[in-house]
Structure 1
Amino acid sequence: MPSRRTASSTGPSEDVDLFADWQRRADFPNAVDAVIAAFEGEGFDVVVDLRLETFARLHVSQAADPDEQHRVELVANWRAQPPVEMQIGPVLHPDDVMAGKTDALYNRAAARDFIDIDAAITCGRYTAEQLCILAAEADAGFDRQLFAQMLGANSRFDDQGFHRLRARTRPGRGDARTVPDLAGRTVKPRV
């Protein structure tokens, strides 16, 4: 299962995401069992929070510190690109990562989603247009107009929350609340 870690990852993650190819979704239940057994074999406690046909969310902790849990999500889903081989093994292609991150911003719009998209654009690897194309290819329901409206009208987050998250994940970067809109202008969501 390729992991979410890619060459485009720039900050620490609070969870681990493991992906299986949609073509092998029939193998997914056995893969989840193998991951659980591997954690338990290394002495970790595993709590299955949610288990579906092609998705599982686990909370993993060490017996000595049960309050410090780490989320591990496993998912079988469609990807446009084959995995990229890295030293740690196969990882998601950056285009698939960014399609997922753009979709997360579109559907969930958490502060971390804004920061992820901001990082992809400010580092110069992707433009807002490219991210919209990737999201539309991955999700036929992606609506650019709705996405643009959502970006311009977001008032759920205060600056302090963004700055705390930014400092923890990507120190020294600009204002994560400003993102290029679909026309290339800079938009700062209303507070």
Structure 2
Amino acid sequence: MRPFHDRLARIGLEAVEKYGFVLAGGYAISANGMGDRPSSDVDLFTDLGDPEQFAEAVEALRHAFRVDGLVVTDNRIGPTFADLRVVDEATETWSDIQLGWDYREFPPRMLEIGPVLDPRDAVANKMGALWSRGEARDYIDIHTVLESGRFTRVDVLAMGDQIEAVPLDRRMLAERFRQAGRFSAADFAQYDVGSVQRIAIVETFLDWADEVDPAVVR
């Protein structure tokens, strides 16, 4: 985790843990021992959908950052979503931090940094992100999960199915898998992924696509 992100996560989790917030997103994958992909922001999510409590949590977070000498501005605020920009003017370092609401099936893990999504929820949410948006970072994270040996392809698919209203359509999912190659080397490089690893990721998802939807022959 980038040093400034580590600082924001620790301050943030201490401030809003009582509202059910935990470290989520890509950093939840790495905090659970699967890879170390750098991220552009910090995600803190709760499973409590009360807008009043959510607003209290956002204000508590703003206050905690300001007490630590940081400048906070609102990018976007909703009933159960907040996107804040946090700046350390002394070092001219900045980052966005996002708060949101999401379903989780398991209790969070208490790690050294603070409460973190259970790895099964972290992987399920990442599969949901790959299914819905399919950004380069989503392919990287799911590939990292598989490479860790902690979960199999079958496990990951089952986790993805659990957070959707209906199981993921395998033909559409296979098409999403086949889109991994649409990202350039530069798209992957911003996450410290070189050309060799990029090829491995693309090939993994092409093979997986054939596995979940064998009707299509490459």
Alpha-carbon offset, residue 9 of structure 1: 4.2
State the SS of the aligned residue for 1:176.
helix
Alpha-carbon offset, residue 121 of structure 1: 0.7
Query: Which amino acid letter does the alignment assign opposite residue 43 of structure 2?
Result: D
Aligned to 1:36: 62
Aligned to 2:23: 3
Distance change (3 Å), C-alpha of 1:160 and 1:72: closer
Question: Equivalent residues in 2 for 1:27-66 (5 A)?
Answer: 27-66=53-92
CA contact (8 A) 1:45 1:62 kept: yes
Alpha-carbon offset, residue 27 of structure 1: 1.4
Number of equivalent positions: 183
Alignment partners' CA distance in 2, 1:94 and 1:8: 9
Alpha-carbon offset, residue 30 of structure 1: 0.3
Aligned to 2:40: 14
List structure 1 runs of 4+ shifted beyond 3 angstroms: 23-26, 169-174
- Which is helix-richer, 1 or 2? 2
Alpha-carbon offset, residue 8 of structure 1: 3.1
Alpha-carbon offset, residue 49 of structure 1: 0.9
CA-based RMSD of the aligned residues comes to 2.7
Query: Which amino acid letter does the alignment assign opposite residue 90 of structure 2?
Result: A
TM-score after normalising by structure 2: 0.73
Alignment partners' CA distance in 2, 1:43 and 1:101: 33
Question: Equivalent residues in 2 for 1:70-149 (5 A)?
Answer: 70-140=95-165, 142-149=168-175
Distance change (3 Å), C-alpha of 1:172 and 1:42: farther
Distance change (3 Å), C-alpha of 1:38 and 1:93: same
Question: Equivalent residues in 2 for 1:172-187 (5 A)?
Answer: 175-180=200-205, 181=208, 183=211
CA contact (8 A) 2:170 2:212 kept: no
Aligned to 2:183: 157
State the SS of the aligned residue for 1:43.
coil
- Which is strand-richer, 1 or 2? 1
Alpha-carbon offset, residue 146 of structure 1: 0.7
**Percentage of identical aligned residues:** 30
Alignment partners' CA distance in 1, 2:108 and 2:50: 14
* Structure 2, unpaired ranges of 5+: 1-20
Alignment partners' CA distance in 2, 1:171 and 1:146: 27
